[in-house]
Structure 1
């Protein structure tokens, strides 16, 4: 049904009142689509919205606690006019490099009033909701202005971009991979720059360098520039560069990893698109290069201090050792857990974790996309989108091919790229997210083609076949409401402010100190109003003297001893050397008080700490505590 272009119809000339009425009608359509996206985003996160007091997205692990801490400490620093790029409130006394921890200052700083007034949980769910909505609407805006004439066709593409399985999976815990609205706006700005810098006449995106059609109706689709005989005035180029530089700088403040993946995929798309007419592509590249270079300088001007702090400031690191984080081949053809299809047929669990179902597109979608690509192969944009899908899906499979957790030993291209700087810090599983807008582009074009057939003949059967195929592919991927549980209450010792009586200028050491597997203490610290710093925490920082990054603090011997005691529920042998090491660790942490909250195997931990410190715990406001200020000695001011 898509093997040839639909017949074109002449567009009637409109009077001025008719043009005004048309703009109002189009704006109304935009508002309706925006309202639909926002409603769906709120529905997906309705469980958290209904319980912002104690609700917790259970599939986030400890990530929700981490992100809420980021938003809370950012608001705290802004309100107290302190440097937001670093914090000593966890991992005391070494601190945390906030810029190197995706703190998302691009939303954390503007939403400071929300965080201070309603708490970080409200900020967290608000960012996720606006992220899903904004990403969907921004891609819809690009598709409707530059790709297809039909608002409905653009809405289909935007819907998939904003609510694809990977987006819903990350909505459990990773707002930096949900707030992606600036990426399509960046692409849109590049298109405008190429058009205005490269030429004055509007040439169809679907026309080759010789002016011949490569397939498809021209009206309403993306346009690239034709050669220009007279350069544009410099004022316009400076304005375009400023907008592009600002967009990239803001995206850096939201998430650098999505920006890197987008830049690579956008480059692959442009390269494949212009393979058919390389001279046209080179002319466009030469035309926009000065403007892009100026935009890069503007980006550096906006971000040089934060980026210096990220890579050279306190607690900075060069790369993260995360090990193999690749997609399993079976994941590509299975339904995501939080979808209608996943409710009935989720298949083998081969995801890294519930927040990284990046490639769960489902087998019906692959059938529909493959057929659409074959039937619309003459479209250069379809060929370019298909190249992006294949290239980045293969990259996401990692260094060796895994099928159902079985290592086949087949070497894949990522093997040669996994040690490349910047790329080596990316979780390779996430590369498949580059396929989302490429798939959406194909779905939007296929929908537009079906609607074009219907304009010619209302009785044509092919549009019904296409819409049936879309329903077959997308209905199983319809997202469900993300599950929420009630988080345990904060111990009164922290919630009521009792902790202030036991903290002078040192830290609170929770037994055992918080780590990525158990970061609840960060929530208690935020609930207490950041009255004290914490030893340990959940963050990314350097390990030892190297610049390799790791999740959580370096393991102090006493922290490791307490974690092993809790896991084994066995009191370890404590001798003089162990006590001396415990005292050394407490002095390293500049501890004022050791606190044991309600936790697993608490009796074992309490008896272990009794032996390490040399005197029994006191029970105060729901926790066992050891005041060690006299034992450790005077602590240096924080």
Structure 2
């Protein structure tokens, strides 16, 4: 069920062999002609040697001869002894790196013994490079010269005993002759004798490059020769480069535990003499340069994504202290508060899943809110150093760019060869109109970099190659995503389920073959995930201030017109039109525009023979239908039809999902289709057709290009709060009560609390919490008579006649909130509110700096 079935080459293209013309300069002939120490009248003529090799070789052993020439004679003898009588024949290719430093003269000692053995046995050949060369050049030359069905790379000191070859051969033979016919054998088996951490940092100071990866490795011969021929690096990073080429060609690489020979240095380590500090430093610098070369394309793509993300948010970055995302409603205040409360809880060693900082006295179940503890906690040092707004902007900017990059990585790994086709697909998946809309204040729907990794790991499970390992990683990935955003994970899981069922329809054989490994892997993932999440999930669903669903209203689905119109922040968008068709500016969950949807449909028709494309088409169509909600109005008719969400929306968990958000599944679907189309278009030979295809793609994308998010001046924090004057009016354990109380419509008081370093608690607030005996989820604190009255008067309602009953109710509500002081900042209808509160509490307020204050707590 892997997406890799979309026209991916099964192995490195045969054309890669053309690269051998530019490989390092070397001579590779028979031992008699290649080694200058061979006798001129050797009886092993070139013709006879050539004839012996054309008979077929089962195994080629390639040994770079660098710093261990003194061991060469013993090494050659050991190889001959181990392989003598091997069915299918063998050959030994010795690669002299051409280094003059410390090289024994021909005919001296062990080197002469190795040369003599080579001259006497046509199966032993020497390849000499013209001058000193790096590890990559040496290995490339040796593999080029090999002719075996399989190629073994090992070191001249035989740091890994040849007896371990059987382990590699067993791994390389997995899947051959299997009864299911679905598992492909690996193309390489790498021997490992150290921990993953040790190998990851093996090259001094350069994480990510594995020192000695090819110190003992067995390859499929054709795949190895093609991959090494296509490689370009001459230094130690050739290991990573060739491994990547093998995998990109559709192959897999197995890692096999092997034992080390006692007293032998690790593969790739210098044995002749200790390396000088200058040499080690040069090696590090060289490895770093190669690392950059190896990843130059990916780094360039990442830079483009980062620049695009900064372009979207540059208005916010221009003045982090004074600007606020114009269309964020109160969500920026809320999320900055989430950043601050996580920092405050952790630094004071309090429970990170709960707080009474707002919603006094009941508090807030932080696990039941989109607090994104997976980022807010690791970024605590940033928050402490630069503040909550910097963390907010950083999460949005880096999160959107990282999401684009992981979608690009997954698309290139699974679907296309072209880097820039995959980059275009990744950009569309991460910067599609719904994501830009949510970027106004919903980081949990923007920071989606784990979703492609989860999708890829699920596809690996379908391949059944390493079910236990992939299941464990899937469980860890899902666990982390829970702490980034549960609703995006649920929607992604729904999309993957639809894709799986669609694949069952279009390619029943492959889908059924994937059922068992996928099921086992999901069981492993659950076994990993559930224990890690047991306490947080229990707290979320059964802890204090938990709730069982969230009320969104009957109009949370997308209008059919929203599927073909443009979002407010798209190049061709009209804010007024988009506003009429969405809940608000942060919930423009579709708005892909008719040209992009038409282009996607055309790509599906064009590539319909591909099962993956058909499954993607079905997934996108189902997601759009589900996003219409439980009641679907037919435009311009007044007719309302029942929607497919009517059934799904009543299921546990889905009852809290805003159904319009399901349309976000179409962003990666369209991204993959775009990448597939561009990958094909750029390879069309006819220039006219190629130009026409690129113009069609541009016509689909240009209307939905993102515009920068608009910003406005942020409401200032009252001097009463900023100066710390509040400390004289609110005791420890008491709440500050803004007039009116903060709620989803106006939550600037959350920013006051952030600026006051959470020194006081707040009554009211903006969060998800329970309401009523059924504990239905609502936005904000459970309303009380006084909070409703103050809100209604603030927004235009005339105040009622204040009776003793009203005063008693106000006293009860203030007591319930554990109020220390009521604070009225300057605002519309401030005079009316001041008179109302004064009558309710029975006394006039005190003017303190820029606010009116009624002290109602216990402090005298």
Q: In 2, distance between residues paired with 1:406 and 1:40?
A: 41
Per the TM alignment, residue 18 of structure 1 is displaced from its structure 2 partner at its CA by 4.7
Report runs of 4+ in structure 1 exceeding 6 Å deviation. 4-9
Matching residue of 2:821: 593
Q: In structure 2, what is the equivalent of residue 493 of structure 1?
A: 720
Match in the other structure for 1:133: 401
Give the match's secondary structure for 2:395: helix
Structure 2 CA distance for partners of 1:277 and 1:629, relative to 1, 3 Å = closer
Say which of 647, 656, 659 aligns to 1:428: 659
TM-score (norm 1): 0.89
Cα drift, residue 116 of structure 1: 1.4
Which stretch of the first structure deviates more once superposed, 4-13 or 268-277? 4-13
Q: Which range is displaced more, 409-418 or 146-155? A: 409-418
Contact 2:333–2:750, Cα closer than 8 Å, also in 1: yes
Q: Deviations over 1:489-522 (max 9, x none)?
A: 1001110111111111311111111111011111
User: What's the counterpart of residue 527 of structure 1?
Assistant: 755
> Retained in 1: the 8 A contact 2:467–2:517?
no
Select between 502-511 and 172-181 the one with higher mean Cα deviation.
502-511
What is the Cα deviation at residue 590 of structure 1? 0.9
Give unmatched runs, 5+ long, in structure 1: 198-235
CA contact (8 A) 2:568 2:579 kept: no
Counterpart residue number, 1:109: 377
Q: CA deviation at 1:352?
A: 1.1
Aligned mates of 2:416, 2:577 — CA distance in 1? 34
Q: 1:50 aligns with which of 300, 318, 326?
A: 318
CA distance 1:61–1:550, change in 2 (3 Å): same
Which residue in 2 is equivalent to 1:161?
429
Q: Which of 566, 579, 584 is matched with 1:353 structurally?
A: 584
338-347 vs 443-452, which deviates more? 338-347
Structure 2, unmatched stretches of 5+, are 1-5, 21-139, 141-227, 234-240, 242-289
User: In the alignment, is the contact (CA less than 8 A) between 1:320 and 1:548 conserved in 2?
Assistant: yes
Question: What TM-score do you get using the length of structure 2 for normalisation?
Answer: 0.66
CA 1:407/1:262 → structure 2, altered by over 3 Å: closer, same or farther?
Answer: farther
* Structure 2 counterparts to residues 183-582 of structure 1, below 5 A: 183-197=451-465, 237-324=467-554, 325-342=556-573, 349-403=580-634, 407-453=638-684, 457=685, 459-505=686-732, 506-568=734-796, 570-582=798-810
Question: In structure 1, how many angstroms separate the alpha carbons of the residues matched to 2:390 and 2:372?
Answer: 15
Q: Which residue of 2 aligns with 1:121?
A: 389
CA distance in 1, matches of 2:405, 2:571: 23
* 2:463 and 2:517 in contact (8 A); partners too: no
Query: What secondary structure is seen at the aligned counterpart in 1 of 2:727?
Result: helix
Aligned-pair distance for 1:174?
Answer: 0.3
Distance (Å, rounded) in 2 between the aligned partners of 1:116 and 1:52? 15
SS at match of 1:12: helix
Q: Which residue of 1 aligns with 2:855?
A: 627
CA displacement at 1:278 relative to structure 2:
2.0
Q: 1-side partners of 2:539 and 2:670: how far apart?
A: 37
Shift of 1:238: 3.6
Tell me how far 1:343 sits from its aligned partner. 5.8
Q: What is the DSSP-based 3-state SS (H/G/I as helix, E as strand, rest coil) of the residue aligned with 2:444?
A: helix
User: Secondary structure at the residue paired with 1:47?
Assistant: helix
How far, CA to CA, are the matches of 2:427 and 2:300 in structure 1? 13
User: What's the RMSD between the two structures over aligned residues?
Assistant: 2.1
SS in 2 for 1:34: helix
Shift of residue 347, structure 1, vs aligned partner: 6.3
Aligned to 1:11: 15
Deviations 1:81-127 (A, max 9, x none): 11110000000000000000111001100011111111111111111
User: Structure 2 CA distance, aligned partners of 1:192 and 1:126?
Assistant: 32
Instruction: Return 98-107 or 289-298, whichever deviates more.
Output: 289-298
Verify the 8 A CA contact 1:569 1:601 in the aligned structure 2: no
Say whether 1:92 aligns with 2:355: no
Counterpart position of 1:217 = none
Q: Distance in 2 between matches of 1:137 and 1:427?
A: 27
SS in 2 for 1:509: strand
Task: Report the equivalent of 2:261.
Answer: none
Are the counterparts in 1 of residues 568 and 578 from structure 2 also a CA contact under 8 Å?
A: no
CA–CA distance in structure 2, aligned partners of residues 405 and 573 of structure 1: 46
Q: Is the 8 A contact 1:315 1:542 kept in 2?
A: yes
Match of 1:21 in 2: 232
Shift of 1:130: 1.3
Q: Structure 1 residues 5 and 523, CA, compared in 2 at 3 Å: closer, same or farther? A: closer
Distance 2:359 2:691 in 1: 59
2:99 maps to none
Question: CA shift at 1:460, angstroms?
Answer: 3.4
On the 8 A contact 1:350/1:404 being kept in 2, the answer is: no
User: Is the 1:5–1:449 contact (alpha carbons within 8 Å) kept by the matching residues of 2?
Assistant: no
- The SS at the match of 1:290 is helix
Q: 1:619 to 1:63 in 2, by over 3 A?
A: same
Corresponding residue number in structure 1 for 2:332: 64
Note if contact 1:111-1:123 (Cα within 8 Å) is conserved in structure 2. yes
For 2:334 and 2:658, how far apart are their aligned partners in 1? Answer: 19
Q: Is the 8 A contact 1:154 1:444 kept in 2?
A: yes
Counterpart position of 2:307: 39
CA distance 1:5–1:569, shift in 2 (3 Å): closer
Report the CA distance between 1:404 and its aligned residue: 5.3
Name 1:208's counterpart in structure 2: none
Q: Which residue of 2 aligns with 1:78?
A: 346
Cα distance in 1, alignment partners of residues 578 and 436 from structure 2: 18
Deviation by residue 1:397-454 (Cα, 9 ceiling, x = unmatched): 112223559752122211222211111110010000011111111111111111232x
Q: CA deviation at 1:465?
A: 1.2
1:203 aligns with none
> Partners of 1:283 and 1:178 in 2: how far apart?
35
Aligned residues: 587
Q: Secondary structure at the match of 1:592?
A: strand
Between 1 and 2, higher relative CO (CA 8 Å, sep ≥ 6) is seen in 1
Check conservation: 2:506, 2:615, Cα contact below 8 A: no
